[in-house]
Amino acid sequence: MFSRVGESLSPSATLMSDVTHGSGIGPIAFLMYVDDLARLLDSCSIVVKLFADDVKVYLPITSAIDVTKL
């Protein structure tokens, strides 16, 4: 999986987990996963907005950082 911002493209990353699409339990499993993600990011003082299956992360960038160490 890649992420693109403007003309910049991230390195490839392998996804280690997923929520099964089309299953009866899928939506509940997704909500549990997203809730854990939101709590983890909140504990790091990172603002997160959730709506349906979207997650927006707000983090001020004050200097150049090595994102691999986050």
pLDDT of residue 2: 67
Q: What are phi and psi of 39, to 5 degrees?
A: -65, -40
Q: What are phi and psi of 32, to 5 degrees?
A: -65, -45
pLDDT of residue 5: 77
Domain that holds residue 52: 4-59
pLDDT of residue 66: 67
Q: Tell me whether residue 14 is in a domain.
A: yes
pTM of the model: 0.47
Q: Tell me whether residue 55 is in a domain.
A: yes
pLDDT of residue 17: 66
pLDDT in tens, 8-61: 888 877 766 666 667 788 778 778 878 888 888 889 888 888 877 777 888 777
Mention every residue, 6+ apart, whose C-beta is less than 8 A from residue 30. Answer: 19, 53
Q: Tell me whether residue 65 is in a domain.
A: no
Q: Tell me whether residue 19 is in a domain.
A: yes
